[in-house]
Amino acid sequence: MLKTGAVAISPVEFFERARARLRFEVPPGLLDPQIVPQSGDQGTDRMLEIIAREQPVRPAAVLIPVVDHAEPTVLLTQRAAHLNDHAGQISFPGGKIDPTDASPLDAALREAEEEVGLTREFIEPIGYLDLYGTSFGFRILPTVARVRPGFKLRINHAEVDDAFEVPLAFLMNPVNHQLHSKEFRGMERTYYAMPFAERYIWGATAGILRVLYERVYRA
């Protein structure tokens, strides 16, 4: 059973909830700078408004690969240390949406195969999570997906240093959702962190996982 605080749900119920609550509707804010994604944190929302005026929108897509073990896990990556954006950070498979991608889903699936060799035959896409904005101007649209075990990863070291799995139960337990803060132009903004063993999961990745908890886990 997967525990959410005092509440426990089964892996089957998790995927059923995700299918019932998520859709493949692309939000207009993915491309429209006039529509700013809302985080619920006043300082962060103000930061995103400023970023939207100063930087071009950078649409991106990521895959949230929930591996359907008896105790489900989430497949995460550690970005290569030499990259210009978010070097060395923990992330989901994904990246910028290319003009040749048919949809954000197609971009997420392409990136997952390019980065870690996770092929589409193992992936059951379920739906889009909420649009997530970052201080770098990225508008990230996450795709939640059920992943069938048995895949073999092939790490592309030009983009990723490592790939690993973290128990879904750990990531969905609010006890593990640390709330930190930092200053942006005189305003305080908050962000989530979910340290796991030697891995420091924070920023957009932790924020998106928190949205997954709120949208799918909470009753």
For the residues 168-173, what does the mean pLDDT come to?
96
Amino acid at residue number 37 = P
Task: State residue 6's pLDDT score.
Answer: 44
pLDDT at 183 over 60: yes
**Number of domains composing the chain:** 1
For the residues 178-200, what does the mean pLDDT come to?
90
Q: What is the pLDDT of residues 137-163, one digit of tens each?
A: 999 999 999 999 999 999 999 999 999
Specify the range with the lowest mean pLDDT, choosing from 22-26, 38-42, 80-84, 192-196.
80-84
Specify the range with the lowest mean pLDDT, choosing from 15-24, 79-88, 109-118, 133-142.
79-88
Task: State residue 119's pLDDT score.
Answer: 97
Global confidence as pTM: 0.94
Could you tell me if 101 and 110 are in contact, meaning their C-beta atoms sit under 8 angstroms apart? yes
* Structure-token pair, residue 123: 């992936």
CA distances 171 to 30, 201, 217, Å, are 26, 10, 11
* Structure-token pair, residue 91: 């992330």
- How many C-beta neighbours within 10 Å does residue 98 have? 12
Task: State residue 187's pLDDT score.
Answer: 79
pLDDT category of residue 87 using cuts at 50, 70 and 90: low
Residue closest to 191 by CA, chosen among 209, 179, 199, 173: 179
pLDDT category of residue 37 using cuts at 50, 70 and 90: very high
Q: What is the pLDDT of residues 6-21, one digit of tens each?
A: 467 899 999 999 999 9
pLDDT category of residue 86 using cuts at 50, 70 and 90: low
Task: State residue 84's pLDDT score.
Answer: 60
Domain of residue 181, CATH code: 3.90.79.10
Could you tell me if 164 and 199 are in contact, meaning their C-beta atoms sit under 8 angstroms apart? yes
Identify the domain containing residue 80 by its residue range: 2-217
Task: State residue 58's pLDDT score.
Answer: 95
Could you tell me if 178 and 95 are in contact, meaning their C-beta atoms sit under 8 angstroms apart? no
